[in-house]
Chain A
Amino acid sequence: MSNFKIIRDGELVDDDWTLVPTDGDVPATGKIIVPLKLWLSARLLPSDSLNALTARQAPVGVWLDGSDDVSVFADSIATIPLIAINFPKFTDGRGYSAATLLRSRYSFKGELRAIGDVLRDQLFYLQRVGFNAFAVRADKDIADALNALKDFSETYQASTIDPIPLFRRRTALFAEV
């Protein structure tokens, strides 16, 4: 268990998951996030065979790059507790579409975590497309990053966290005032 902090559901918490890097060793115990390739290969093995992943007691999450095809989760999405999307560079926007698809098309309900080059100034958009957890890059002040989640109090278009666009809410908003 690491004492690394992440943001989850708007709060700073200790990270209770271990991220297994590509070709890294899988720890014997604890909650782990494995690379997509490993997750896929484990899934292909019959469950009664000696399968290190499926035999584990602790939950197994999976991480992938924004460029990976998220449709591979279509039939098993309900069984996955955590999906992490890696941003190799913060300017690579594919992870935003991957997250949107996971939440809207495949109805993923578990923790959706942004990992990699995750910085304060992208958190607001990341949150809108459906990420609820952020492993902010280690050299950055994560407490400061938390502030970005409140950068805007209103937004125009529909997104994962506000599925109803502003134009369908506008009249009601003014009625309240």
Chain B
Amino acid sequence: MYKYDAIDQKIVDERVAQFRGQTERFLAGQLSEEEFRPLRLQNGLYVQKHAPMLRVAIPYGQLSSKQVRMLAHIARKYDRGYGHFTTRQNIQYNWPELKNVPDILADLATVEMHAIQTSGNCIRNTTSDQFAGVAHDELIDPRPYAELIRQWSTFHPEFAYLPRKFKIAINGATEDRAGTLFHDIGIHTVKDDSGEVAFRILVGGGLGRTPILGHVIHESLPKQHLFTYLDAILRVYNRFGRRDNMYKARIKILVKELGLEKFRAEVEAEWAHLKDGPSTLTQAEIDRVAEHFVDPAYESLPAVDADFEHHLLESKAFARWVERNVFGHKKSGYAAVTLSLKKTGVAPGDATDTQLDAVADLADTFSFGEIRVSHEQNLILADVKKHDLFAVWQRAKNLGFATPNIGLLTDIISCPGGDFCSLANAKSIPIAEAIQRRFDDLDYLFDIGDLAINISGCMNACGHHHVGHIGILGVDKHGAEFYQVTIGGNQGFNGKNDAALGKVIGPSFAQDEMADVVEKLIKTYVSLRHQDELFLDTAKRVGLDPFKASVYDRNVDKDAAKNAAKPSGHAEAEVANV
């Protein structure tokens, strides 16, 4: 992974000093709340329900064991012993004290970490595929480019006060595991006709209250133009994006209002001035950064490991875990392991300091000391020998990390919701737990197969509910917490562009109905599915009606649908989007 040189380190150290000064001036009354707000947000610091919330950046989801131990240390020393991994591969602490934040940042800086631009109306942490560099279906490793984008976007002076937040995701495999279609900019690393690395650039995707899938603005951008092209897009957005209404301020609205062709023409006109200028990437710089991402010292191993095969036959539980939590590796004899943070009874994405330390140990022993975070809020050991899988499984089980549910119904993606977030209409975590408890039969879960449930506590969609196969959105209905359900969303790209936004099935439900509702939807699917058909495929084939019929009394008249709670937001700019 990328290692700082003296300059990278100095920049982060100077940021700590800068923020320390800003915090001191705020606490001394020299900075008003209004003046301090964007400054603290650009350092990942929110004011939340209970205490400030600090979001620490995990650039494109990559961590060393040393960094993970530091995250554990921070959880222990400044928080209540745990952290929450988010849907943008970052980690949040829910209970730090404002006056301690400069010290936390100083601690983070000692392990090449920071909270720069994890919030605020600026370019956020760039996210990527959690299996980047090891995936069996990878075309080009996106990590060097993700790091280049991190450096380009860090303290970009022209784009620190954009109309709204700006998120970039980059993916280099056949399957889109980075959700590039619902980012402000999505990037696919591809090969052009001459076999050179190039980028397919998508723009204007996003979830939130106006979910839109991104459009291709450039089919094959030669790699040296990456920065100048991004500069051109950002400049058009910074100048012309709406600033009068925060709900219309994302780039997707600008693209929609101008139309893709007009928007592209603006970008091209701007780019004509920047193209081939000093910001044009050099091969030397690409090579310098790429050197940090060369393969670790893999052993040459046979594809089949006798011990591993033996354990697979011996232990059904192990076999199940392998089926769901182990991912194909490009290197023979190796595999990538997902440690599930979705154990029933634990808030999705939460990990304790003890668990974090243990993950660091596992990584040191079995996976070259590296850990990744997925946007599905799980942790990954990317380079485990097949021979070691059984040992990893046993240890992970003792640590509460071996729930064999990756991609299954109980691998629920959820925002922190009403338990922590001051913008929430409704709680998310108890809904996730109720559903997990209801589906406690592993055979049934395996029989159902791939199924993504996504839960957001409000329209800000931090739980990406629009792309859940079953999406659940907290709404406010006459002051009570209700939940609107969508079906048929899909984050996937799968090389055939089948990403889709879910459709609302009807009026919203009370909290205590939700487990029943999900159960009925699943029963409907099971009764209608063709052999080997997944929920999503059945839903696509049969449409909404059978699902509706299963959860709504047929006598519900049309008025009820009309009276369905309109998702209401809060007139508050500080959206805790993760």
Residues on A close to B: CB < 8 A?
A: 90-94, 96-98, 100, 104-105, 119, 121-122, 124-126, 128-129, 141, 151-159, 163-168, 170-171, 173-174, 177
Give the distance in Å from the alpha carbon of A170 to the alpha carbon of B11 in the complex. 14
Q: Is B210 an interface residue (CB 8 A)?
A: no
Q: How far is the CB of A136 from chain B (nearest CB, A)?
A: 13
- Near A by CB (< 8 A), chain B positions 129-176 give 151-152, 154-163
The answer to whether B161 touches A158 (Cβ under 8 A) is no
The answer to whether A177 touches B6 (Cβ under 8 A) is yes
Q: Which 9 A-B pairs have the closest CB atoms?
A: A93-B161, A128-B157, A125-B157, A167-B285, A156-B151, A96-B158, A158-B279, A97-B238, A152-B14
22 A-B contacts (beta carbon < 8 Å):
A90-B38, A93-B158, A94-B239, A96-B161, A100-B235, A119-B35, A121-B22, A125-B160, A126-B157, A152-B18, A154-B10, A155-B155, A156-B151, A157-B157, A157-B227, A158-B278, A167-B151, A168-B278, A170-B5, A171-B284, A173-B7, A177-B6
The answer to whether B238 touches A156 (Cβ under 8 A) is no
Residues of A within 8 A of B159 (CB): 93, 96
Q: Is B3 an interface residue (CB 8 A)?
A: no
The answer to whether B161 touches A166 (Cβ under 8 A) is no
Q: Is B243 an interface residue (CB 8 A)?
A: yes
The answer to whether A154 touches B158 (Cβ under 8 A) is no
Residues of B within 8 A of A126 (CB): 157
The answer to whether B152 touches A97 (Cβ under 8 A) is no
**With A153-B14, A157-B152, A165-B279 as contacts: A92 and B158 at CB distance below 8 Å:** no
Residues of A within 8 A of B279 (CB): 157-158, 165
Count, A-B residue pairs, CB within 8 A:
106
Give the distance in Å from the alpha carbon of A165 to the alpha carbon of B145 in the complex. 16
The answer to whether A156 touches B38 (Cβ under 8 A) is no
Give the distance in Å from the alpha carbon of A105 to the alpha carbon of B273 in the complex. 8
Q: How far is the CB of A103 from chain B (nearest CB, A)?
A: 11
Q: How far is the CB of A81 from chain B (nearest CB, A)?
A: 24
Residues of B within 8 A of A100 (CB): 158, 235
The answer to whether B151 touches A159 (Cβ under 8 A) is no
Residues of A within 8 A of B77 (CB): none
Q: Is B39 an interface residue (CB 8 A)?
A: yes
Q: Out of B15, B157, B277, B282, which one reaches A167, CB within 8 Å? A: B282
Give the distance in Å from the alpha carbon of A153 to the alpha carbon of B9 in the complex. 12
Residues of A within 8 A of B31 (CB): 121
Q: Out of B152, B156, B278, B285, which one reaches A164, CB within 8 Å? A: B278
Closest chain A residue, CB of each to CB of B38: A91
Count of chain B residues near A, Cβ 8 A: 41
Q: Is B460 an interface residue (CB 8 A)?
A: no
- Near A by CB (< 8 A), chain B positions 275-313 give 277-279, 281-282, 284-285, 288
Q: Is B403 an interface residue (CB 8 A)?
A: no
The answer to whether B161 touches A92 (Cβ under 8 A) is yes
Give the distance in Å from the alpha carbon of A171 to the alpha carbon of B39 in the complex. 32
Task: Indicate with 1 or 0, residue by residue over B211-222, a CB within 8 angstroms of chain A CB atoms.
Answer: 000000000000
Give the distance in Å from the alpha carbon of A92 to the alpha carbon of B164 in the complex. 10
Q: How far is the CB of A161 from chain B (nearest CB, A)?
A: 9
Q: How far is the CB of B193 from chain A (nearest CB, A)?
A: 27
Q: How far is the CB of B98 from chain A (nearest CB, A)?
A: 17
Closest chain B residue, CB of each to CB of A70: B239
Give the distance in Å from the alpha carbon of A128 to the alpha carbon of B5 in the complex. 23
Beyond known contacts A166-B7, A173-B7: 14 more, CB 8 A cutoff: A93-B160, A96-B157, A97-B238, A100-B235, A124-B157, A141-B30, A151-B18, A152-B11, A152-B18, A156-B154, A164-B278, A167-B281, A167-B285, A174-B5
- Give the residue among B18, B151, B160, B282 with the most A Cβ atoms within 10 A: B160
- Near A by CB (< 8 A), chain B positions 327-354 give none
Residues of A within 8 A of B6 (CB): 174, 177
Give the distance in Å from the alpha carbon of A169 to the alpha carbon of B162 in the complex. 28
Give the distance in Å from the alpha carbon of A166 to the alpha carbon of B278 in the complex. 10
The answer to whether A159 touches B158 (Cβ under 8 A) is yes
Give the distance in Å from the alpha carbon of A164 to the alpha carbon of B279 in the complex. 7
Q: Is B508 an interface residue (CB 8 A)?
A: no
Q: Is B377 an interface residue (CB 8 A)?
A: no
Give the distance in Å from the alpha carbon of A159 to the alpha carbon of B279 in the complex. 9
- Give the residue among B15, B155, B281 with the most A Cβ atoms within 10 A: B155
Q: How far is the CB of B410 from chain A (nearest CB, A)?
A: 42
Residues of B within 8 A of A119 (CB): 35
Give the distance in Å from the alpha carbon of A117 to the alpha carbon of B154 in the complex. 24
Give the distance in Å from the alpha carbon of A105 to the alpha carbon of B435 in the complex. 57
**With A154-B10, A158-B278, A165-B279 as contacts: A97 and B288 at CB distance below 8 Å:** no
Q: How far is the CB of B284 from chain A (nearest CB, A)?
A: 8
The answer to whether B11 touches A155 (Cβ under 8 A) is yes
Residues of B within 8 A of A141 (CB): 30
Q: How far is the CB of A115 from chain B (nearest CB, A)?
A: 16
Give the distance in Å from the alpha carbon of A113 to the alpha carbon of B279 in the complex. 26
The answer to whether B278 touches A151 (Cβ under 8 A) is no
Give the distance in Å from the alpha carbon of A157 to the alpha carbon of B38 in the complex. 22
Residues of B within 8 A of A125 (CB): 155, 157-158, 160
Q: Is B87 an interface residue (CB 8 A)?
A: no
Residues of A within 8 A of B151 (CB): 156-157, 166-167
